[in-house]
Structure 1
Amino acid sequence: MATAERLFYEEGVRAVGVERILREAGVGRASLYRHFPGKDDLLVAVLTERDRNWRAWLAARVGASDLEPAELPLALFDGLHERFAAMGFRGCAFINTMVEEADPDSPAHGVAADHKERVITYLDGLLRDCGYRSHEVLSRQLALLADGAIVTALREGTPDAALRARGIAAALLGAADREETRQEREEDAPARM
């Protein structure tokens, strides 16, 4: 799976055949087909695992952030900036898959689209927990900014798109209606006494 993930990401799903995966992974055809009936099944498994890892990375990135609660959703863009600057950045594996597997009924397209919805769901929960009243709308706006930043970073070959998207996201959050979180109320309580 690791070899398939690397090759699919570096070269594209359609450009990489089963023979190439077998050769580079050093496994036999029977071994591959014992676990995956075909290339499409391998791709779905790769994307499913990548989705799990990507969302765990995002949650860890947000959890490790020292941003104030109102700014915590901006950790997404800080993390994207780091990813865009990494060697070998080739865009979003899920966007790339949806482009190559354009049929929405394709299992791989479905896994990629589900990933995007899971990210939106995560952002929605984060925004809700941060006290944003319009969290449903904001989560989709931030996801749109993130996807746009990914494509722009790939096109421009620079991580700066994440910073520009972060600025727009900060403006959206700054204009949004928000209530104080319990943590903020507890932190402010001694100052009120």
Structure 2
Amino acid sequence: MAEGHDGAAPVRAGDRIRAAARDLFYSRGFRGVGVDEIVARAGVTKPSLYRGFASKDALVVACLEDYDTGLRARLDEALAAHPGDPGAGLVAFLDGIARRSARPGFRGCGLTNAVVEYPEADHPVREAAREGKRALHARLAEVAGTLGARAPERLADALLLLVEGAFACGQIFGADGPNRSLAGTAEALIAASRA
């Protein structure tokens, strides 16, 4: 284990590998990055990588789990910032996606990118990405149920479509694109779901 720069707790090799892989995969694509580059960036050896991950695909799956955890954590943080008002929390979550997608270097959602790069229906990477999206949909449906939506699953469908559209539009248009309307669109959908 390497000690942190500030004398903090040491950073495990597996954590360094995951962090390096997440950054490289996000910026250059899953299939465009090799194991040699990951271990060089992480400052570890190949045997260290393969002690923690059975294959590059296993590392990709681990990184997808990290992307998924981060996305749902942002949803939970937005909801926590608006106690008693899950609609406002959902709007804040989508507004955060709109702001992040306008940043330079935004390359969409890592989960969605994985589905594009791994078209084989039964590939473990594609399945991990699908599971992440299913988990987000389930969480959105759960929240939709708490705000009194008549059809929580349908509202979750619509919100997930907004999220996916925002990921694509952010890459295409940047700050001047349709994502500037994301929060208002979400508010209208939420209001309509209660009518």
TM-score range, shorter chain: 0.7 to 0.9
**Structure 2 partner of 1:168:** 185
**How many residue pairs get matched?**
178
**Structure 2 partner of 1:143:** 160
Deviations for 1:81-140, whole angstroms, at most 9, x for unmatched residues?
231233432111011110001112111111111111111111111111111121110101
Greater relative contact order structure (CA < 8 Å, 6+ sep) = 1
Larger Rg: 1
SS at match of 2:94: helix
Q: Does 1:55 align with 2:75?
A: no
What is the distance in 2 between the residues matched to 1:125 and 1:75?
Answer: 17
- TM-score normalised by structure 1 residue count: 0.84
What is the distance in 2 between the residues matched to 1:159 and 1:79?
Answer: 15
User: C-alpha displacement at 1:157, in angstroms?
Assistant: 2.1
Query: Structure 1 residue runs of 4+, over 3 Å off?
Result: 65-72
Q: Which moved more, 1:3-12 or 1:20-29?
A: 20-29
User: C-alpha displacement at 1:154, in angstroms?
Assistant: 0.6
Q: Which moved more, 1:103-112 or 1:86-95?
A: 86-95
Report 1:24-43 matches (<5 A).
24-43=41-60
Q: 2:140 aligns with which of 123, 145, 149?
A: 123
SS at match of 1:155: helix
Q: 1:10 aligns with which of 27, 31, 36?
A: 27
Structural RMSD (CA): 1.9
Aligned-partner residue type, residue 124 of structure 2: P
**Structure 1 partner of 2:10:** none
Q: 2:169 aligns with which of 152, 160, 172?
A: 152
**Structure 1 partner of 2:8:** none
What is the distance in 1 between the residues matched to 2:143 and 2:160?
Answer: 13
Aligned-partner residue type, residue 125 of structure 1: E
Give yes or no for contact 2:79–2:88 (8 Å, CA) kept in 1.
no
- TM-score normalised by structure 2 residue count: 0.84
Q: 2:100 aligns with which of 83, 88, 107?
A: 83
Which structure 1 segments of 5+ residues have no match? Answer: 179-193
What is the distance in 2 between the residues matched to 1:82 and 1:113?
Answer: 24
